[in-house]
Amino acid sequence: PSVLDSFALLSGQLNTLNKVLKHEKTPLLRNQVIIPLVLSPDRDEEIMRQTEGRVPVFSHEVVPDHLRTKPDPEVEEQEKQLITDAARISPDAAQKQIQSLNKMCSNLLEKISKEERESESGGLRQNKQTFNPADTNALVAAVAFGKGLSNRRPPGSGASVQSGQPGAGAIIAGASGIQQVPMTGTPAQQQPMLAGVQMAPAGQPGK
């Protein structure tokens, strides 16, 4: 019962406070001046947490800076000077200056975007690959080490070839089942035997 009584008391006080704050005659809290009641040169962990480590202490040195509602006097003077200079310019002149400034900004943005596009296209051209590394490596391995080439030989390619004509040995070695028979006798009597078949002499029609 005591807990319920305390809770009911707190709930009533909170409701009363909300009604007072929501009343139309109550001034807005954002318009009220904050007056520091406790100033300490010691490190305050709660302030460190709330300010994300920017304000370690809440002392007489930092209070005027953090609770100020007006800018520095130098900044106020510069702002007044700018307002005075702006009041002297006619609306037409101000409009022309605005247009010229907008044009300069547009040109600058266009140049920047163009440079970015050119740099991106140049990077793409440099990074674009014009060959296949796998094919290149396969060709180099095949030429240098014979990798991937077939070791099979056609039948009869191991026979010794003796011919006076260049390329004849390669043709005969590559032909399947063709053997060269040694030739004896006179040139007129020389008749090569190819695969056991006697060839007709030159000038005579074959059967």
Residue 194 φ then ψ, to 5°: -110, 115
**At 81, is the pLDDT very low, low, confident or very high (cuts 50, 70, 90)?**
very high
Report the pLDDT value the prediction gives residue 191, as an integer from 0 to 100: 47
Report the pLDDT value the prediction gives residue 58, as an integer from 0 to 100: 86
pLDDT per position as a tens digit, 119-130: 887 776 666 667
Going by C-alpha positions, the residue among 59, 78, 75 that lies closest to residue 67 is 59
CA angle 159, 165, 168 (to 5 degrees): 40
Q: How far apart are CA 136 and CA 130, in angstroms?
A: 11
Report whether 40 contacts 59 (CB < 8 A). yes
Report the pLDDT value the prediction gives residue 189, as an integer from 0 to 100: 46
Report the pLDDT value the prediction gives residue 190, as an integer from 0 to 100: 45
Beta bridge partners of 194: 180, 197
Report whether 102 contacts 109 (CB < 8 A). no
CA angle 12, 16, 19 (to 5 degrees): 140
CA angle 6, 10, 12 (to 5 degrees): 115
Please compute the mean of the pLDDT values over residues 151-168 and round it to a whole number: 52
Q: Which of 25-29, 37-41, 178-182 has the lowest mean pLDDT?
A: 178-182
pTM: 0.27
Please compute the mean of the pLDDT values over residues 92-108 and round it to a whole number: 94
Q: Which residues of 20-57 are buried (b: 16+ CB within 10 A; e: fewer)?
A: eeeeeeeeeeeeeeeeeeeeeeeebeebeeeeeeeeee
Q: How far apart are CA 43 and CA 59, in angstroms?
A: 9
pLDDT score of 171 more than 50: no
Q: How far apart are CA 3 and CA 106, in angstroms?
A: 69
Report the pLDDT value the prediction gives residue 22, as an integer from 0 to 100: 87
Report the pLDDT value the prediction gives residue 205, as an integer from 0 to 100: 56
Please compute the mean of the pLDDT values over residues 104-127 and round it to a whole number: 85
Report the pLDDT value the prediction gives residue 118, as an integer from 0 to 100: 86
Domain boundaries, the chain: 1-119
Report whether 168 contacts 161 (CB < 8 A). yes
Report whether 160 contacts 148 (CB < 8 A). no
Report the pLDDT value the prediction gives residue 202, as an integer from 0 to 100: 52
pLDDT score of 33 more than 80: no
**At 111, is the pLDDT very low, low, confident or very high (cuts 50, 70, 90)?**
very high
Q: Which of 36-45, 46-55, 71-80, 175-184 has the lowest mean pLDDT?
A: 175-184
Q: What is the mean pLDDT of the chain?
A: 76
